[in-house]
Structure 1
Amino acid sequence: MKEKKSKSINSLRYIHMLDRLIFPLIIVKSIVQVASNLAIVLVSTNLINQMENNVEKATILKVAMLGVLIIFALKVLGSFTNKYLVIRKNACDRNYNFKVGDKALEVDFPQLENRKVDELKQHIREDNNWGAGILSIYQAFESLVQNVVTVIGNLVVVLPFFLNKGIYKSSYLYLLVILFVVITVISVFINSKYLKTYVYKVMDQMSHNVKLFFFFLFDGAFDYKSGKDVRIYQAQSLIDSHVGKGELGYLKKQYSKLALASGIGSAVEGIGAALLTGGTYLTIALLASANSVIKIGSVIRYASCLSTLVKSLNKLTEDITSISKSLERQGSRMQFFDIEEVLEKGNETLELKADEEFAIEFKDVSFRYDPTQEYVLNHISVKIKKGDCTAIVGLNGSGKTTFIKLLCRLYDPTEGEILLNGVNIKKYRYEDYMKILSVVFQDFQLFSFGLGENIAGSQLFDEDRVKSCIQEAGLEERYSKMSKGMNTSLYRNLDEEGVEVSGGEAQKIAIARALYKQASLMILDEPTAALDPVAEYDIYTRLNEITKGRTTIFISHRLYSCKFCERIIVFQDGKIVEEGVHKELLERKGLYQDMWNTQVQYYMDAVMV
């Protein structure tokens, strides 16, 4: 309980820090709105009393005009405050969501692949399904403050009436007031305390048991990329067997519970409201009849204010439960913001000039993704110098991609160290180290932005440089068919006029992006995996020309790329088992030769081996 309370307070404090004016504005708005409502009641009932007392018409007119001016001023102030508040709340909501996105972009890569972080992302999604956004907190807080101010304001109006001992001329009037209070308390407790708590409990149970349903609904059914496979393999029945019978059946049962609880709550609230409204006017009428001094306008005033007071008390407990639950649901986002860095990041400046010599060395490096798992890399020692064109080859699962992840500082070695010019790469500023790398990953990602933006990685780019990279990557034929040129959007996620590119075309775009960066070290992880042998031969011929003089690392289990490389390193089971040039490795008759002999037939039609 203390932990939940602490998390809720932290959430509220963080949200307040986003915009320190919003909560004060909510309080001002609530005060103005309640004052406006009370002014209408007080002015109108006062006019009724004056007419009952036969006050001069001129005086009544003056009071009416003054009252209208006050009400008008309060309404104008309330409207202005509300409009201004809505603008700030929406801006703050966008800012809050941007912060979540920024945090996701800044989280260290190992955390993105961490199972607990993945569960946390799912938890955030589930909380959002129940309206856990920042606007829900503002809404709950606004309702809470307004009802608190309403209770206080109306209590100030009606309290003098009930404190007047002169109206209690009979003991049954005391009993009537007590009965009125008891009915109010019971109604508030049943509807707000019990039923609302039960509803939230059912919602929480649903949140953690319908992951498959929401995955299907949002990630599967509307994904046009998976839609092809669903239709070709008629997988609708397979999906229905997992989602329909189990999850939908569970959802139906839980929603029935919600409907029943909400229905009972509405019924209790309706009965309570009817009893309280009737009881309010009856109580005031009986008390007024016991004191003939009370005027008709006063009776209406006290009855109206008392009825409003009781309704606000009823809503007040609901608001407390709502804001508590909303803040609790923000806990998942607060946890996300608190994700710690796991990569060691130094502060040494790193600047490599184009003509500057450098060397990268893996010094007895071992790595495993989890302390409970086996090592993926075992005691790797290798040195790569400026200008080297190196191929890293091996069967699937041999550790090639993990080797690159360590080189790119996506992970830190479990044992050993990686040196750049004799300095552990952990000691350099992370941003500086990233600048020397240009990488085409095996599972690279293109964005649903313009072609030029994708290649440059920025909204601002050098068009001539982009065109040069397009040509070098062998994309000029596809580019010539793009009606908007560099402004052509890739895919249709954000632009209905966007173009779909094939796997091979996407890889060429990724290669063009790597070329555009002009980094000191270029890494190509399976750069031609989506290409046929003829296209692969063409792209490697281009890359051979492009990478001359550049420090380049190719990672591949398709060996034709190795013919262009000055050095080949062969991985097997996380270890380096062979090293040399193409001809030497063929003569050794080891793993490399076996892999080559298996693949060489696929290249016979493309080039004479």
Structure 2
Amino acid sequence: MKREISLIVRGMKVIHRVQPWLLVISIASGVFSSILPFITIYFSSLIINELSLPSRNFKHIMGLVVLTLVLNLVCRLIVNFLAQMFDTLQYVLGHKNQLDLADKGYQLDYADMDDTNIRQMREKLNRGRYYKGIVAIAFQLNTLTLNLFSVVISISLMIEMFMTKSIGTSRLDLLMNSPIAGILLIALLVISILYSIKINAISQKKQFEAMNESGPHFNYDRFYTYQLSTEYNAGKDVRLYGQRPLIENQINFHLSKILGFQRSVPEFGAKYGAIGSGIQVIVNVATYLFVGLKALLGAFGVGNIVLYTGAITQFGTGFTGVMQTLSNIKQNTNYLQWYFDFVDLPNRKESGTQPVDLETMKHGIIEFKNVSFKYPGSEHYSLENISIRFNVGERVAVVGKNGSGKTTFIKLLCRLYDPTEGEILLNGMNIKEYNYQEYLASFSVVFQDFNLFSFTLGENIAVSSEYDEEKAMDCANRAGLEKRMESFEDGLHTQLYNEISEEGVEISGGEAQKIAIARALYKDAPFIVLDEPTAALDPLAEADIYARLNRDLIQNKTAIYISHRLSSCCFCNQIAVFEQGRLIQHGTHKDLLEMEDGLYHELWNAQAQYYA
């Protein structure tokens, strides 16, 4: 209980920070919504009592009718206004809450993004993003307030019903005036309410368990049903290889799993809901019998039948609503726990205090010293006992077969990951001691799996909405986009891809790679790292890019190339050859070629024989 209350209070603090008025509007809306039905119930009883009198006053009756209509109208207008405000503020809360989660995702260490447990946490939050967690608190507060006030008002009206006695002396009068009749009616109400609470609690638990168990299958179903069926890049393979039956088979499989998990909830509701409805009918009959007999015996006017039956009905509905809402609130703390577990994830990446100045990055030495690395959750070393050093300002090639650890080597250098063992030094100082953000800013990287987005060409190059157009154009031209730029009517303002705009331009893999290189050039960082920079380029474009890189693009920067095309190695100062996570050769192109029993010689000749 203490943990649950703590989570709810913390959730309310989040709401107050994001939307300060939402909690106030939620409570106010609940109060006025609870009052609305009692206006009709109370004034209807007064009107009926007045009509039942022999000396009825029609002027007074009309006054009551007008007052009822006016109060109803005013209260309904207030309720509608508050409901509109509540819906709007709750929508904004949900939107801002998703932005907060996205911001937390951006703040996480890159290594955490590769953690299966953290990805599963994010998936759990996605399942209840629109109706659970933080967003649900405001709605539940509104519902709880409405039902609580309904209970309080109902009880205040019902007290008179139990206290008022008839003046007769018959057995029926004595029975109805005794506490027994009232106790029996209350007992029926309590049984009905407790049954409803119990069934609701079990139903909520079943819903939570079903959603939790079927969650992974929902992810697969969404992927196959929505994403893969309309994915532009996947469309070619789906059609050429006739993959539709395979995809539909996967959809049917995961859908059957979802239905299997979810089936128990409606079956449970149908079975025990019917019993609950039967109990409610008995309660309603007992209520009308109790109130009708007391009115018949003269305990109160006939109009009070409407008042008291309405009050009892509202009490049953309100009390059941209170308990159901409390059950929902309790269940929602599971989602709140997921939310705060994610939000509270620590940023484990250490940030030093040593500034990274430009001179340090222009003149210095990078050294890997006995570096080994395992990916999170893996027991296998991706890199093992790597020791290598090179001068800042050199051109270094990193080569090897697939899976040999080349890209992992770059991720460690850029400090996306930290070594499991050993250390990486810059000018003799561990790179952990440098300011983390400043160190990251020192690298312009084009990874093999780089991403461009549905922004304009200029925004993709500059990674900003406001940028130096002359510099962006220069970087685009230097990366080999001169001719393609001529076909862009809007130049740098050309929208890439058509996910957002119908006028978006689709670009080839080679053009995308050139844009990624232009982006690296625009950043103008001291280190430039190119992971398979020409994989999507034709031979002429590849030769042109390497000529540009060697001649004027890199200039005095430190350049590191990862490539299966070993022609990039010819103009590098040194070459590092990796195999199965180990550095097995290290030297110049000439020196390594002379080692005829080495891997580099084998790789070079395997490619060269087709060009000789």
* TM-score past 0.5 threshold: yes
Instruction: State the shift of 1:544 in Å.
Output: 1.6
Give aligned pairs, total.
Answer: 601
Structure 2 counterpart of 1:477, from 483, 491, 497: 483
Aligned-partner Cα distance in 1 for 2:69–2:256? 58
Give the aligned partner of residue 406 of structure 1. Answer: 412
TM-aligned CA deviation for residue 106 of structure 1? 0.9
**Equivalent in 248, 257, 274 of residue 250 of structure 1:** 257
1:396 has 2:402 as partner: yes
SS of the aligned residue for 1:565 comes to coil
CA displacement 1:152-181 (0-9 Å, x = unmatched)? 112112222213355893326644433433
**Which of 185, 190, 195 in structure 2 is aligned with 1:185?**
190
SS at match of 1:510: helix
Q: 1:376 is aligned with what amino acid?
A: S
Mean Cα deviation higher: 456-465 or 165-174: 165-174
Question: 2:106 matched to 1:98?
Answer: no
Query: What is the distance in 2 between the residues matched to 1:191 and 1:419?
Result: 67
Alignment of 1:388-537 (within 5 A): 388-537=394-543
Classify 1:189/1:499 alpha carbon distance in 2 versus 1 (closer, same or farther; 3 Å): farther
- CA distance in 1 between counterparts of 2:44 and 2:439 reads 74
Which residue of the partner structure matches residue 144 of structure 1?
144
Instruction: Find the aligned partners of 2:396 and 2:590 in 1 and give their Cα distance.
Output: 15
Shift of 1:207: 3.2
What letter matches 2:234 in structure 1?
A: S
Instruction: Give distance in 2, aligned partners of 1:370 and 1:254.
Output: 32
CA distance in 2, matches of 1:549, 1:484: 33
Cα deviation code 1:458-490 (max 9, x no counterpart)? 111221111111111112333333344323332
- How far apart, in 2, do the equivalents of 1:233 and 1:371 lie? 35
1:153-552 equivalences under 5 Å are: 153-165=153-165, 169-171=173-175, 174-194=179-199, 196-198=201-203, 200-209=205-214, 211-212=216-217, 214-218=219-223, 219-244=227-252, 246-292=253-299, 294-352=300-358, 357-370=363-376, 373-545=379-551, 546-552=553-559
16-25 vs 591-600, which moves further = 16-25
Would the alpha carbon gap of residues 73 and 120 (structure 1) be closer, same or farther in structure 2, given more than 3 Å must change?
Answer: same
SS of 1:169 mapped into structure 2:
helix
Amino acid at match of 2:317: K
Whole-Å separation in 1 of the counterparts to 2:217 and 2:309: 53
Alpha carbons of structure 1 residues 275 and 497: separation in structure 2 relative to 1, 3 Å: farther
Query: Offset at 1:354?
Result: 10
- Distance in 2 (CA, whole Å) between partners of 1:64 and 1:28 is 26
Tell me if structure 2 keeps the 8 A contact 1:393–1:568.
Answer: yes
CA contact (8 A) 1:482 1:488 kept: yes
Match of 1:33 in 2: 33
1:588 Cα deviation after fit? 2.8
Following TM superposition, by how much is the alpha carbon of 1:595 offset from its aligned partner in structure 2, in angstroms? 0.9
Instruction: Report what 2:586 is aligned to.
Output: 579
1:566 aligns with 2:578: no
d(CA) in 2 for partners of 1:309 and 1:438?
Answer: 67
Would the alpha carbon gap of residues 560 and 105 (structure 1) be closer, same or farther in structure 2, given more than 3 Å must change?
same
**Aligned CA distance change for structure 1 residues 164 and 239 (closer, same or farther; 3 Å):** same
- Residue 536 (structure 1) shift: 1.8
Deviations 1:194-241 (A, max 9, x none): 255245415523532462453143343343332332222222333344
State the superposition RMSD in angstroms: 2.9
The question of whether the paired residues in 2 share the 8 Å contact of 1:199 and 1:262 is answered with no
CA pair 127-67 structure 1, distance change in 2 beyond 3 A: closer
Q: Deviations over 1:309-353 (max 9, x none)?
A: 112222332222222223322332222112222221123333326
In the alignment, structure 1 segments of 5+ residues that lack a partner are 605-609
Residue 255 of structure 1 and its aligned partner are, at CA, apart by: 4.0
Distance 2:208 2:248 in 1: 23
2:44 aligned partner, one-letter code: S
1:89 aligned partner:
90
CA–CA separation in structure 1 for the residues paired with 2:330 and 2:486: 58
| Alignment-mate amino acid for residue 354 of structure 2 | E
Contact 1:358 1:420 in 2 (8 A): yes
What is the distance in 2 between the residues matched to 1:387 and 1:17?
49
1:17 Cα deviation from its structure 2 partner: 4.5
1:595 and 2:608 equivalent?
no
What is the alpha-carbon distance in structure 2 between the residues aligned to residue 165 and residue 387 of structure 1? 101
Shift of residue 587 of structure 1?
Answer: 2.1
Q: 1:241 to 1:261 in 2, by over 3 A?
A: same
CA distance in 1, matches of 2:472, 2:133: 41
Distance verdict in 2 for CA 1:69–1:202, change over 3 Å: closer
CA distance in 2, matches of 1:57, 1:171: 37
Change (3 A) 1:355 1:254: closer
Question: Which whole-Å CA distance do the structure 1 matches of 2:215 and 2:85 have between them?
Answer: 39
Aligned 8 A contact 2:220 2:254 in 1: no
Distance 1:104 1:372, change over 3 A: closer
Question: Does residue 553 in structure 1 map to residue 560 in structure 2?
Answer: yes
The separation in 1 between residues aligned to 2:115 and 2:361, in whole angstroms, is 40
The DSSP-based 3-state class of the residue aligned with 2:328 is: helix
- Deviation, structure 1 residue 396: 1.8
Deviation of 1:437 (Å): 1.0
Q: Select between 416-425 and 112-121 the one with higher mean Cα deviation.
A: 416-425
Which runs of 5 or more residues in structure 2 are unaligned? none
Give the direction of change, closer, same or farther, for the CA distance of 1:152–1:213 in structure 2 (3 Å limit): closer
What amino acid is the match of 1:170? L
- Mapped contact 2:162–2:182 kept (Cα < 8 A): no
Shift of the alpha carbon at 1:444? 0.9
Matched, 1:123 2:127: no
Contact 1:345–1:427 (Cα < 8 Å) also in 2: yes
CA–CA distance in 2 between the matches of 1:11 and 1:438?
Answer: 40
Query: Which residue of structure 2 lines up, in the alignment, with residue 78 of structure 1?
Result: 79
SS in 1 for 2:381: coil
- Would you say the 8 A contact 2:396–2:559 is kept in 1? yes
Which secondary structure state, in structure 2, belongs to the residue aligned with residue 208 of structure 1? Answer: helix
Whether the aligned pair in 2 keeps the contact of 1:110 and 1:342 (CA below 8 Å) is no
The range that moved more, 391-400 or 249-258, is: 249-258
**Partners of 1:180 and 1:279 within 8 A in 2:** yes
Question: Is contact 1:448-1:491 (8 Å) kept?
Answer: yes
Q: Distance in 1 between matches of 2:550 and 2:516?
A: 17
Whether the aligned pair in 1 keeps the contact of 2:217 and 2:258 (CA below 8 Å) is no
State the distance in 2 between where 1:427 and 1:234 align: 54
Q: CA deviation at 1:358?
A: 3.7
Aligned-partner residue type, residue 435 of structure 2: R
Residues 213 and 243 in structure 1, CA contact (< 8 A), matched pair in contact too: no
CA distance, structure 1, for counterparts of residue 542 and residue 48 of structure 2: 92
Counterpart residue identity of residue 305, structure 1: A
CA offsets per residue over residues 231-262 of structure 1, 9 Å max, x none? Answer: 22222333344442x43333333444333223
Opposite residue 171 of structure 1, the aligned amino acid is: L
Aligned to 1:607: none
**1:602/1:312 CA distance change after superposition, 3 Å:** farther
